[in-house]
Structure 1
Protein backbone atom coordinates (compact mmCIF):
# COMPACT_ATOMS: atom_id res chain seq x y z
CA UNK A 1 0.00 0.00 0.00
CA UNK A 2 1.58 3.33 -1.07
CA UNK A 3 1.31 6.52 0.98
CA UNK A 4 -1.56 7.98 -1.08
CA UNK A 5 -3.60 4.80 -0.69
CA UNK A 6 -2.87 4.61 3.05
CA UNK A 7 -3.87 8.25 3.60
CA UNK A 8 -7.03 7.91 1.49
CA UNK A 9 -8.08 4.79 3.42
CA UNK A 10 -7.50 6.36 6.85
CA UNK A 11 -8.40 9.96 6.03
CA UNK A 12 -11.36 10.27 8.42
CA UNK A 13 -9.46 8.82 11.38
CA UNK A 14 -6.43 11.04 10.70
CA UNK A 15 -8.52 14.20 10.35
CA UNK A 16 -10.65 13.50 13.42
CA UNK A 17 -7.55 12.78 15.48
CA UNK A 18 -6.02 16.12 14.56
CA UNK A 19 -9.34 17.95 15.02
CA UNK A 20 -9.97 16.75 18.56
CA UNK A 21 -6.30 16.99 19.47
CA UNK A 22 -5.97 20.63 18.42
CA UNK A 23 -9.40 21.50 19.88
CA UNK A 24 -8.39 20.06 23.26
CA UNK A 25 -4.95 21.72 23.22
CA UNK A 26 -6.31 25.16 22.34
CA UNK A 27 -9.18 24.86 24.85
CA UNK A 28 -6.62 24.13 27.57
CA UNK A 29 -4.47 27.08 26.47
CA UNK A 30 -7.54 29.35 26.53
CA UNK A 31 -8.26 28.23 30.09
CA UNK A 32 -4.68 28.75 31.30
CA UNK A 33 -3.90 32.01 29.44
CA UNK A 34 -6.98 33.76 27.98
CA UNK A 35 -6.46 36.92 25.88
CA UNK A 36 -9.92 38.44 26.51
CA UNK A 37 -12.78 38.06 28.96
CA UNK A 38 -15.68 36.32 27.24
CA UNK A 39 -19.06 38.08 27.20
CA UNK A 40 -21.40 35.12 26.48
CA UNK A 41 -21.77 31.86 28.40
CA UNK A 42 -19.13 29.44 27.12
CA UNK A 43 -21.55 26.56 27.69
CA UNK A 44 -24.12 28.15 25.35
CA UNK A 45 -21.60 29.09 22.68
CA UNK A 46 -19.71 25.81 22.71
CA UNK A 47 -22.86 23.67 22.66
CA UNK A 48 -24.24 25.55 19.65
CA UNK A 49 -20.98 26.13 17.77
CA UNK A 50 -19.87 22.51 18.12
CA UNK A 51 -23.41 21.32 17.42
CA UNK A 52 -23.14 23.18 14.12
CA UNK A 53 -19.79 21.51 13.40
CA UNK A 54 -21.27 18.03 13.80
CA UNK A 55 -24.33 18.96 11.72
CA UNK A 56 -22.09 20.30 8.93
CA UNK A 57 -19.91 17.18 9.03
CA UNK A 58 -22.98 14.94 8.72
CA UNK A 59 -24.39 17.07 5.89
CA UNK A 60 -21.15 16.95 3.90
CA UNK A 61 -20.89 13.17 4.26
CA UNK A 62 -24.45 12.82 2.96
CA UNK A 63 -24.05 15.23 0.01
CA UNK A 64 -20.40 14.54 -0.82
CA UNK A 65 -19.57 11.04 0.47
CA UNK A 66 -16.23 10.96 -1.38
CA UNK A 67 -15.19 14.37 0.03
CA UNK A 68 -12.11 16.22 -1.25
CA UNK A 69 -9.82 13.21 -0.86
CA UNK A 70 -12.12 11.09 -3.04
CA UNK A 71 -12.13 13.78 -5.74
CA UNK A 72 -8.32 13.93 -5.62
CA UNK A 73 -8.08 10.15 -5.99
CA UNK A 74 -10.57 10.20 -8.89
CA UNK A 75 -8.74 13.07 -10.63
CA UNK A 76 -5.49 11.14 -10.29
CA UNK A 77 -7.04 7.99 -11.75
CA UNK A 78 -8.43 9.99 -14.70
CA UNK A 79 -5.21 11.91 -15.24
CA UNK A 80 -6.93 15.25 -14.64
CA UNK A 81 -5.11 18.35 -13.46
CA UNK A 82 -1.77 20.08 -13.90
CA UNK A 83 0.21 17.72 -11.69
CA UNK A 84 -1.16 14.71 -13.55
CA UNK A 85 -0.29 16.17 -16.96
CA UNK A 86 3.36 16.90 -16.20
CA UNK A 87 6.14 14.89 -14.59
CA UNK A 88 6.88 16.76 -11.37
CA UNK A 89 8.74 15.41 -8.31
CA UNK A 90 6.19 14.08 -5.83
CA UNK A 91 7.11 16.29 -2.88
CA UNK A 92 7.28 19.38 -5.09
CA UNK A 93 3.74 18.62 -6.20
CA UNK A 94 2.68 18.18 -2.56
CA UNK A 95 4.18 21.47 -1.36
CA UNK A 96 3.00 23.53 -4.34
CA UNK A 97 -0.48 22.00 -4.10
CA UNK A 98 -0.85 22.86 -0.40
CA UNK A 99 0.33 26.46 -0.96
CA UNK A 100 -1.88 26.88 -4.04
CA UNK A 101 -4.97 25.57 -2.26
CA UNK A 102 -4.29 27.93 0.64
CA UNK A 103 -4.19 30.83 -1.83
CA UNK A 104 -7.55 29.75 -3.26
CA UNK A 105 -8.99 29.77 0.28
CA UNK A 106 -7.69 33.33 0.72
CA UNK A 107 -9.39 34.38 -2.55
CA UNK A 108 -12.59 32.62 -1.50
CA UNK A 109 -12.53 34.46 1.81
CA UNK A 110 -12.15 37.79 0.04
CA UNK A 111 -15.02 36.83 -2.27
CA UNK A 112 -17.48 36.08 0.56
CA UNK A 113 -16.76 39.55 1.93
CA UNK A 114 -16.93 41.23 -1.48
CA UNK A 115 -20.22 39.81 -2.79
CA UNK A 116 -23.22 40.91 -0.68
CA UNK A 117 -25.20 37.70 -1.27
CA UNK A 118 -22.23 35.59 -0.13
CA UNK A 119 -21.57 37.89 2.81
CA UNK A 120 -25.04 36.98 4.07
CA UNK A 121 -23.80 33.39 4.44
CA UNK A 122 -20.41 34.31 5.85
CA UNK A 123 -21.71 36.82 8.38
CA UNK A 124 -22.87 33.94 10.60
CA UNK A 125 -19.19 33.25 11.22
CA UNK A 126 -18.54 36.91 12.08
CA UNK A 127 -21.66 37.35 14.22
CA UNK A 128 -20.17 35.36 17.12
CA UNK A 129 -20.00 37.83 20.03
CA UNK A 130 -16.83 36.22 21.33
CA UNK A 131 -13.74 34.86 19.64
CA UNK A 132 -12.42 31.47 20.70
CA UNK A 133 -11.41 28.07 19.35
CA UNK A 134 -15.00 27.11 18.44
CA UNK A 135 -15.42 30.24 16.29
CA UNK A 136 -12.89 28.72 13.91
CA UNK A 137 -15.33 25.95 12.96
CA UNK A 138 -18.53 28.02 12.98
CA UNK A 139 -19.72 28.33 9.37
CA UNK A 140 -23.18 28.23 7.83
CA UNK A 141 -23.99 24.91 6.08
CA UNK A 142 -24.58 26.69 2.76
CA UNK A 143 -21.15 28.31 2.97
CA UNK A 144 -19.60 24.94 3.80
CA UNK A 145 -21.21 23.43 0.67
CA UNK A 146 -20.00 26.36 -1.47
CA UNK A 147 -16.51 25.98 -0.04
CA UNK A 148 -16.48 22.26 -0.83
CA UNK A 149 -17.52 22.88 -4.44
CA UNK A 150 -14.72 25.45 -4.86
CA UNK A 151 -12.32 22.92 -3.33
CA UNK A 152 -13.47 20.23 -5.79
CA UNK A 153 -12.93 22.58 -8.75
CA UNK A 154 -9.45 23.48 -7.47
CA UNK A 155 -8.52 19.82 -7.11
CA UNK A 156 -9.71 18.98 -10.64
CA UNK A 157 -7.62 21.83 -12.09
CA UNK A 158 -4.49 21.17 -10.00
CA UNK A 159 -4.55 17.37 -9.82
CA UNK A 160 -2.80 17.36 -6.42
CA UNK A 161 -1.56 14.15 -4.77
CA UNK A 162 -4.06 12.71 -2.29
CA UNK A 163 -1.65 13.31 0.60
CA UNK A 164 -1.45 17.01 -0.34
CA UNK A 165 -5.23 17.32 0.01
CA UNK A 166 -5.18 15.61 3.40
CA UNK A 167 -2.29 17.82 4.61
CA UNK A 168 -4.15 20.89 3.40
CA UNK A 169 -7.41 19.88 5.10
CA UNK A 170 -5.64 19.10 8.39
CA UNK A 171 -3.62 22.33 8.25
CA UNK A 172 -6.69 24.41 7.42
CA UNK A 173 -8.74 22.99 10.29
CA UNK A 174 -5.86 23.13 12.77
CA UNK A 175 -4.80 26.69 11.94
CA UNK A 176 -8.43 27.87 11.89
CA UNK A 177 -8.83 26.64 15.48
CA UNK A 178 -5.42 28.04 16.44
CA UNK A 179 -5.87 31.50 14.97
CA UNK A 180 -9.42 31.87 16.33
CA UNK A 181 -8.35 30.92 19.84
CA UNK A 182 -8.71 33.26 22.79
CA UNK A 183 -5.10 32.75 23.85
CA UNK A 184 -2.39 35.06 25.08
CA UNK A 185 1.14 34.65 23.74
CA UNK A 186 4.25 36.83 24.17
CA UNK A 187 4.11 39.78 21.77
CA UNK A 188 7.61 39.07 20.50
CA UNK A 189 6.63 35.50 19.62
CA UNK A 190 3.50 36.76 17.86
CA UNK A 191 5.55 39.19 15.76
CA UNK A 192 7.81 36.37 14.58
CA UNK A 193 5.10 33.73 14.08
CA UNK A 194 2.85 35.96 11.97
CA UNK A 195 5.46 35.92 9.21
CA UNK A 196 4.88 32.18 8.84
CA UNK A 197 1.37 31.43 10.11
CA UNK A 198 -1.75 33.45 10.89
CA UNK A 199 -1.74 34.05 14.65
CA UNK A 200 -4.73 34.67 16.95
CA UNK A 201 -3.81 38.35 17.39
CA UNK A 202 -3.52 38.76 13.61
CA UNK A 203 -6.84 37.11 12.81
CA UNK A 204 -8.76 38.64 15.72
CA UNK A 205 -8.52 41.99 13.89
CA UNK A 206 -10.62 40.43 11.13
CA UNK A 207 -13.47 39.82 13.62
CA UNK A 208 -13.74 43.48 14.65
CA UNK A 209 -17.07 45.31 14.21
CA UNK A 210 -15.17 48.07 12.37
CA UNK A 211 -15.47 47.77 8.57
CA UNK A 212 -11.87 48.42 7.66
CA UNK A 213 -10.61 45.95 10.25
CA UNK A 214 -13.14 43.24 9.33
CA UNK A 215 -12.16 43.65 5.67
CA UNK A 216 -8.53 42.76 6.31
CA UNK A 217 -6.39 39.77 7.37
CA UNK A 218 -8.25 37.22 5.25
CA UNK A 219 -5.60 34.50 5.48
CA UNK A 220 -6.44 31.28 7.35
CA UNK A 221 -3.13 29.42 7.40
CA UNK A 222 -0.46 31.40 5.52
CA UNK A 223 -0.13 35.14 6.23
CA UNK A 224 1.72 35.99 3.03
CA UNK A 225 -1.29 36.69 0.82
CA UNK A 226 -2.49 39.56 3.04
CA UNK A 227 0.95 41.15 3.03
CA UNK A 228 1.46 40.69 -0.72
CA UNK A 229 -2.01 41.85 -1.79
CA UNK A 230 -2.50 44.80 0.56
CA UNK A 231 -5.10 43.39 2.96
CA UNK A 232 -2.83 43.17 6.01
CA UNK A 233 -3.84 45.12 9.14
CA UNK A 234 -1.39 44.91 12.04
CA UNK A 235 -3.43 45.69 15.18
CA UNK A 236 -6.98 46.80 16.10
CA UNK A 237 -7.31 50.49 16.96
CA UNK A 238 -8.99 49.76 20.30
CA UNK A 239 -6.47 47.08 21.29
CA UNK A 240 -7.19 43.39 21.64
CA UNK A 241 -8.83 43.72 25.05
CA UNK A 242 -10.82 46.83 24.10
CA UNK A 243 -12.03 45.95 20.60
CA UNK A 244 -15.60 44.80 19.98
CA UNK A 245 -16.05 41.41 18.33
CA UNK A 246 -18.96 40.67 15.98
CA UNK A 247 -21.26 42.70 13.74
CA UNK A 248 -22.89 46.01 14.69
CA UNK A 249 -26.50 45.04 13.98
CA UNK A 250 -26.50 41.53 15.44
CA UNK A 251 -25.82 41.69 19.16
CA UNK A 252 -28.38 39.43 20.88
CA UNK A 253 -27.37 36.01 22.20
CA UNK A 254 -30.51 34.30 20.91
CA UNK A 255 -29.88 35.58 17.39
CA UNK A 256 -26.15 34.83 17.09
CA UNK A 257 -25.32 32.18 19.71
CA UNK A 258 -28.27 29.76 19.52
CA UNK A 259 -28.29 27.34 16.59
CA UNK A 260 -31.76 28.20 15.17
CA UNK A 261 -30.92 31.90 15.07
CA UNK A 262 -27.51 31.20 13.56
CA UNK A 263 -29.00 29.13 10.75
CA UNK A 264 -31.60 31.82 9.97
CA UNK A 265 -29.12 34.71 10.00
CA UNK A 266 -28.40 34.74 6.22
CA UNK A 267 -32.09 35.20 5.48
CA UNK A 268 -32.67 38.21 7.76
CA UNK A 269 -32.76 41.73 6.37
CA UNK A 270 -32.23 43.07 2.88
CA UNK A 271 -29.10 42.85 0.76
CA UNK A 272 -27.34 46.20 0.81
CA UNK A 273 -23.96 47.57 -0.18
CA UNK A 274 -21.65 45.73 2.19
CA UNK A 275 -18.70 45.07 -0.12
CA UNK A 276 -14.94 44.81 0.06
CA UNK A 277 -14.73 48.41 -1.18
CA UNK A 278 -16.17 49.64 2.10
CA UNK A 279 -12.96 49.55 4.07
CA UNK A 280 -13.24 53.00 5.63
CA UNK A 281 -13.37 53.50 9.38
CA UNK A 282 -16.76 54.62 10.63
CA UNK A 283 -19.09 53.39 7.88
CA UNK A 284 -22.41 52.02 9.09
CA UNK A 285 -21.86 48.27 8.93
CA UNK A 286 -24.75 46.48 7.24
CA UNK A 287 -23.64 43.20 8.80
Structure 2
Protein backbone atom coordinates (compact mmCIF):
# COMPACT_ATOMS: atom_id res chain seq x y z
CA UNK A 1 0.00 0.00 0.00
CA UNK A 2 1.22 3.52 -0.71
CA UNK A 3 2.18 5.85 2.13
CA UNK A 4 -0.74 7.67 3.66
CA UNK A 5 -0.13 10.95 1.85
CA UNK A 6 -3.68 12.13 2.47
CA UNK A 7 -3.24 11.62 6.19
CA UNK A 8 0.04 13.57 6.14
CA UNK A 9 -2.00 16.70 5.34
CA UNK A 10 -2.94 16.76 9.01
CA UNK A 11 0.74 16.70 10.02
CA UNK A 12 1.46 17.28 13.67
CA UNK A 13 -2.00 18.81 14.16
CA UNK A 14 -3.69 15.39 14.26
CA UNK A 15 -4.03 15.32 18.04
CA UNK A 16 -5.18 18.93 18.22
CA UNK A 17 -7.71 18.33 15.46
CA UNK A 18 -9.17 15.28 17.17
CA UNK A 19 -9.50 17.07 20.51
CA UNK A 20 -11.06 20.12 18.85
CA UNK A 21 -13.68 18.02 17.06
CA UNK A 22 -14.39 16.12 20.28
CA UNK A 23 -14.89 19.30 22.32
CA UNK A 24 -17.07 20.84 19.62
CA UNK A 25 -19.23 17.70 19.44
CA UNK A 26 -19.55 17.64 23.23
CA UNK A 27 -20.63 21.28 23.28
CA UNK A 28 -23.22 20.73 20.53
CA UNK A 29 -24.74 17.69 22.27
CA UNK A 30 -24.72 19.39 25.68
CA UNK A 31 -26.62 22.31 24.15
CA UNK A 32 -29.06 19.90 22.48
CA UNK A 33 -29.68 18.18 25.83
CA UNK A 34 -30.43 21.53 27.45
CA UNK A 35 -32.83 22.52 24.67
CA UNK A 36 -34.53 19.14 24.06
CA UNK A 37 -34.07 16.84 27.08
CA UNK A 38 -35.55 13.34 26.92
CA UNK A 39 -35.52 12.33 30.60
CA UNK A 40 -35.38 14.08 33.93
CA UNK A 41 -32.14 13.57 35.86
CA UNK A 42 -32.09 11.46 39.03
CA UNK A 43 -28.73 12.78 40.26
CA UNK A 44 -27.29 16.32 40.39
CA UNK A 45 -25.60 17.16 37.11
CA UNK A 46 -22.63 18.99 38.63
CA UNK A 47 -21.13 16.13 40.60
CA UNK A 48 -21.75 13.55 37.88
CA UNK A 49 -20.13 15.71 35.23
CA UNK A 50 -17.16 16.46 37.50
CA UNK A 51 -16.66 12.72 38.06
CA UNK A 52 -17.12 11.75 34.42
CA UNK A 53 -14.80 14.50 33.18
CA UNK A 54 -12.29 13.55 35.88
CA UNK A 55 -12.28 9.97 34.62
CA UNK A 56 -11.68 10.93 30.98
CA UNK A 57 -8.91 13.37 31.93
CA UNK A 58 -7.22 10.62 33.97
CA UNK A 59 -7.68 8.27 31.00
CA UNK A 60 -5.95 10.75 28.69
CA UNK A 61 -3.01 11.33 31.04
CA UNK A 62 -2.39 7.62 31.66
CA UNK A 63 -2.74 6.83 27.97
CA UNK A 64 -0.06 9.35 27.04
CA UNK A 65 2.25 8.13 29.81
CA UNK A 66 1.83 4.38 29.37
CA UNK A 67 1.03 4.06 25.65
CA UNK A 68 2.41 7.12 23.82
CA UNK A 69 2.18 5.25 20.49
CA UNK A 70 -1.51 5.34 19.54
CA UNK A 71 -3.27 3.35 16.77
CA UNK A 72 -2.70 6.14 14.24
CA UNK A 73 1.04 6.06 14.83
CA UNK A 74 1.02 2.28 14.55
CA UNK A 75 -0.86 2.53 11.25
CA UNK A 76 1.79 4.91 9.86
CA UNK A 77 4.54 2.56 11.01
CA UNK A 78 2.80 -0.46 9.46
CA UNK A 79 2.41 1.40 6.18
CA UNK A 80 6.07 2.44 6.12
CA UNK A 81 7.19 -1.15 6.75
CA UNK A 82 4.53 -2.81 4.60
CA UNK A 83 2.98 -4.76 7.45
CA UNK A 84 -0.53 -6.15 7.41
CA UNK A 85 -2.98 -7.63 4.93
CA UNK A 86 -3.92 -4.38 3.16
CA UNK A 87 -0.25 -3.59 2.51
CA UNK A 88 0.55 -7.09 1.28
CA UNK A 89 -2.38 -6.96 -1.15
CA UNK A 90 -1.52 -3.39 -2.21
CA UNK A 91 -5.07 -2.26 -1.43
CA UNK A 92 -5.57 1.35 -2.64
CA UNK A 93 -6.02 3.93 0.10
CA UNK A 94 -9.62 4.76 -0.84
CA UNK A 95 -10.62 1.09 -0.47
CA UNK A 96 -8.52 0.75 2.67
CA UNK A 97 -10.36 3.72 4.13
CA UNK A 98 -13.79 2.19 3.54
CA UNK A 99 -12.97 -1.40 4.51
CA UNK A 100 -10.73 -0.30 7.38
CA UNK A 101 -13.50 1.87 8.81
CA UNK A 102 -16.01 -0.99 8.64
CA UNK A 103 -13.56 -3.47 10.18
CA UNK A 104 -12.75 -1.13 13.05
CA UNK A 105 -16.43 -0.51 13.68
CA UNK A 106 -17.06 -4.24 13.85
CA UNK A 107 -14.01 -4.65 16.09
CA UNK A 108 -15.39 -2.14 18.59
CA UNK A 109 -18.80 -3.82 18.49
CA UNK A 110 -17.14 -7.17 19.23
CA UNK A 111 -15.02 -5.67 21.99
CA UNK A 112 -18.13 -4.19 23.57
CA UNK A 113 -19.91 -7.54 23.48
CA UNK A 114 -16.88 -9.25 25.06
CA UNK A 115 -16.80 -6.63 27.81
CA UNK A 116 -20.26 -7.85 28.82
CA UNK A 117 -19.78 -11.62 28.58
CA UNK A 118 -16.23 -12.01 29.96
CA UNK A 119 -16.41 -11.51 33.74
CA UNK A 120 -13.03 -9.81 34.19
CA UNK A 121 -13.83 -7.32 31.42
CA UNK A 122 -17.31 -6.73 32.83
CA UNK A 123 -15.80 -5.71 36.18
CA UNK A 124 -14.08 -2.85 34.32
CA UNK A 125 -16.90 -2.02 31.95
CA UNK A 126 -19.60 -1.75 34.58
CA UNK A 127 -17.95 1.52 35.69
CA UNK A 128 -19.59 2.88 32.56
CA UNK A 129 -22.93 1.20 33.28
CA UNK A 130 -23.43 2.23 36.90
CA UNK A 131 -24.00 5.86 35.87
CA UNK A 132 -27.59 6.46 37.01
CA UNK A 133 -28.26 9.06 34.34
CA UNK A 134 -27.31 8.76 30.71
CA UNK A 135 -26.23 11.92 28.97
CA UNK A 136 -23.34 13.22 26.87
CA UNK A 137 -20.95 12.97 29.84
CA UNK A 138 -21.60 9.21 30.15
CA UNK A 139 -19.63 8.77 26.93
CA UNK A 140 -16.54 9.93 28.87
CA UNK A 141 -16.93 7.40 31.66
CA UNK A 142 -14.66 4.41 30.99
CA UNK A 143 -12.20 2.97 33.49
CA UNK A 144 -8.54 3.74 32.63
CA UNK A 145 -7.63 0.05 32.50
CA UNK A 146 -10.45 -0.59 30.03
CA UNK A 147 -9.22 2.31 27.88
CA UNK A 148 -5.65 0.94 27.85
CA UNK A 149 -6.87 -2.56 26.95
CA UNK A 150 -9.02 -1.06 24.20
CA UNK A 151 -5.98 0.69 22.72
CA UNK A 152 -4.01 -2.57 22.65
CA UNK A 153 -6.99 -4.31 21.05
CA UNK A 154 -7.31 -1.67 18.30
CA UNK A 155 -3.57 -1.71 17.66
CA UNK A 156 -3.72 -5.45 17.02
CA UNK A 157 -6.48 -4.96 14.44
CA UNK A 158 -4.55 -2.13 12.78
CA UNK A 159 -1.37 -4.21 12.56
CA UNK A 160 -3.04 -7.40 11.33
CA UNK A 161 -4.87 -5.62 8.51
CA UNK A 162 -2.33 -2.86 7.86
CA UNK A 163 -5.08 -0.25 7.88
CA UNK A 164 -4.17 3.16 6.42
CA UNK A 165 -3.71 5.86 9.03
CA UNK A 166 -6.41 8.00 7.42
CA UNK A 167 -8.93 5.19 8.07
CA UNK A 168 -7.88 5.00 11.72
CA UNK A 169 -8.05 8.78 12.08
CA UNK A 170 -11.50 9.08 10.49
CA UNK A 171 -12.80 6.16 12.53
CA UNK A 172 -11.54 7.60 15.83
CA UNK A 173 -13.09 11.00 15.10
CA UNK A 174 -16.42 9.51 14.00
CA UNK A 175 -16.51 7.04 16.89
CA UNK A 176 -15.94 9.78 19.49
CA UNK A 177 -18.62 12.00 17.96
CA UNK A 178 -21.03 9.07 17.61
CA UNK A 179 -20.56 8.06 21.26
CA UNK A 180 -21.31 11.63 22.38
CA UNK A 181 -24.40 11.66 20.16
CA UNK A 182 -25.89 8.33 21.16
CA UNK A 183 -25.32 8.84 24.88
CA UNK A 184 -26.97 12.27 24.78
CA UNK A 185 -30.18 12.87 26.69
CA UNK A 186 -31.86 14.26 23.58
CA UNK A 187 -35.49 13.89 22.58
CA UNK A 188 -35.37 13.12 18.86
CA UNK A 189 -38.68 12.95 16.96
CA UNK A 190 -39.77 9.32 16.58
CA UNK A 191 -39.75 9.53 12.78
CA UNK A 192 -36.21 10.91 12.74
CA UNK A 193 -35.06 8.21 15.15
CA UNK A 194 -36.54 5.43 12.98
CA UNK A 195 -34.75 6.70 9.89
CA UNK A 196 -31.39 7.32 11.57
CA UNK A 197 -31.23 3.99 13.37
CA UNK A 198 -31.40 2.17 10.04
CA UNK A 199 -27.75 3.22 9.69
CA UNK A 200 -26.40 4.63 12.96
CA UNK A 201 -26.98 4.13 16.67
CA UNK A 202 -29.37 6.78 18.01
CA UNK A 203 -29.80 8.01 21.60
CA UNK A 204 -33.04 6.01 21.98
CA UNK A 205 -31.39 2.87 20.65
CA UNK A 206 -28.36 3.14 22.91
CA UNK A 207 -30.38 4.17 25.97
CA UNK A 208 -31.87 0.65 25.94
CA UNK A 209 -28.34 -0.63 26.54
CA UNK A 210 -28.16 1.37 29.79
CA UNK A 211 -31.36 -0.14 31.21
CA UNK A 212 -31.19 -2.09 34.48
CA UNK A 213 -33.14 -4.95 32.85
CA UNK A 214 -30.45 -7.59 32.05
CA UNK A 215 -31.90 -8.53 28.63
CA UNK A 216 -31.65 -4.88 27.64
CA UNK A 217 -28.29 -4.21 29.31
CA UNK A 218 -26.80 -6.98 27.20
CA UNK A 219 -28.08 -5.72 23.86
CA UNK A 220 -27.41 -2.91 21.37
CA UNK A 221 -23.63 -3.04 21.59
CA UNK A 222 -23.02 -0.72 18.66
CA UNK A 223 -21.47 2.71 19.18
CA UNK A 224 -21.63 3.90 15.57
CA UNK A 225 -23.21 1.68 12.90
CA UNK A 226 -26.39 -0.16 13.88
CA UNK A 227 -25.96 -3.04 11.44
CA UNK A 228 -23.91 -5.34 13.68
CA UNK A 229 -26.61 -5.73 16.35
CA UNK A 230 -29.18 -6.52 13.68
CA UNK A 231 -26.95 -9.07 11.95
CA UNK A 232 -25.90 -10.87 15.14
CA UNK A 233 -29.28 -10.79 16.88
CA UNK A 234 -28.40 -8.46 19.75
CA UNK A 235 -30.78 -5.68 18.73
CA UNK A 236 -33.58 -4.57 21.07
CA UNK A 237 -35.74 -1.79 19.65
CA UNK A 238 -37.24 -0.27 22.79
CA UNK A 239 -37.06 -0.72 26.59
CA UNK A 240 -39.96 -2.70 28.01
CA UNK A 241 -40.74 0.05 30.56
CA UNK A 242 -40.45 2.85 28.01
CA UNK A 243 -37.75 5.51 27.86
CA UNK A 244 -39.35 7.61 30.57
CA UNK A 245 -40.20 4.69 32.86
CA UNK A 246 -36.97 2.68 32.58
CA UNK A 247 -34.29 2.72 35.26
CA UNK A 248 -30.83 3.68 34.04
CA UNK A 249 -27.80 1.99 35.61
CA UNK A 250 -27.38 -1.35 37.37
CA UNK A 251 -29.81 -2.52 40.04
CA UNK A 252 -27.28 -3.04 42.88
CA UNK A 253 -25.95 0.51 42.49
CA UNK A 254 -29.03 2.70 42.68
CA UNK A 255 -27.53 5.10 45.22
CA UNK A 256 -25.27 8.15 45.25
CA UNK A 257 -21.97 6.27 44.94
CA UNK A 258 -21.74 6.10 41.12
CA UNK A 259 -21.38 9.90 41.08
CA UNK A 260 -18.23 9.67 43.23
CA UNK A 261 -14.87 9.79 41.44
CA UNK A 262 -12.75 7.57 43.72
CA UNK A 263 -15.58 5.07 44.27
CA UNK A 264 -16.00 4.71 40.50
CA UNK A 265 -12.28 4.04 39.94
CA UNK A 266 -12.21 1.42 42.71
CA UNK A 267 -15.43 -0.31 41.65
CA UNK A 268 -13.76 -3.10 39.59
CA UNK A 269 -11.74 -4.13 42.64
CA UNK A 270 -14.65 -4.27 45.08
CA UNK A 271 -16.59 -7.39 46.04
CA UNK A 272 -18.92 -8.38 43.22
CA UNK A 273 -22.46 -7.09 43.50
CA UNK A 274 -23.40 -7.49 39.84
CA UNK A 275 -22.31 -10.00 37.22
CA UNK A 276 -23.01 -10.24 33.52
CA UNK A 277 -26.19 -12.17 32.90
CA UNK A 278 -28.32 -12.74 29.86
CA UNK A 279 -31.41 -13.25 31.99
1:125 equivalent in alignment to 2:128: yes
- In structure 2, relative to structure 1, the CA distance for the partners of 1:271 and 1:130 (3 Å cut) is closer
SS of the equivalent of 2:253 reads coil
Alignment of 1:10-89 (within 5 A): 10-89=13-92
Q: Unaligned stretches of 5+ in structure 2?
A: none
Q: Aligned residue pairs: how many? A: 276
Map Cα deviations across residues 148-170 of structure 1 (whole Å, 9 max, x no partner). Answer: 00011011011111111110100
Paired position in structure 2 for 1:185: 188
How far apart, CA to CA, are the structure 1 residues paired with 2:146 and 2:125?
Answer: 7
Please give the TM-score of this superposition, normalised by the length of structure 1.
Answer: 0.93
SS of 1:10 mapped into structure 2: helix
Aligned mates of 1:246, 1:8 — CA distance in 2? 41
* CA RMSD in angstroms, aligned pairs only: 1.3
Which residue among 91, 101, 104 is the counterpart of 2:104?
A: 101
CA distance in 2, matches of 1:270, 1:52: 21
Q: Is the 8 A contact 1:8 1:162 kept in 2?
A: no
Name the CA distance, whole Å, in 2 between partners of 1:117 and 1:66.
25
- The CA distance in 2 between the partners of 1:98 and 1:8, in whole Å, is 21
Deviations 1:113-163 (A, max 9, x none): 001111000000000000000101210001001100001101101111111
Distance in 2 between the 1:114 and 1:230 partners? 15
Equivalents in 2 of 1:4, 1:179: separation in Å?
27
TM-score, with length taken from structure 2: 0.96
Structure 1: runs of 5 or more not aligned: 281-287
Q: Is the 8 A contact 2:252 2:273 kept in 1?
A: no
Aligned partner of 1:279 in structure 2 is: 278
Pick aligned residue for 1:176 from 146, 154, 179: 179
- Spell out structure 1 runs of 4+ moving beyond 3 A: none
Q: Does 1:259 align with 2:261?
A: yes
Q: How does 1:231-250 map onto structure 2 within 5 Å?
A: 231-250=234-253
CA contact (8 A) 2:78 2:84 kept: yes
Helix, strand or coil: the match of 1:243? coil
How far 1:216 sits from its partner (Å)?
A: 0.3
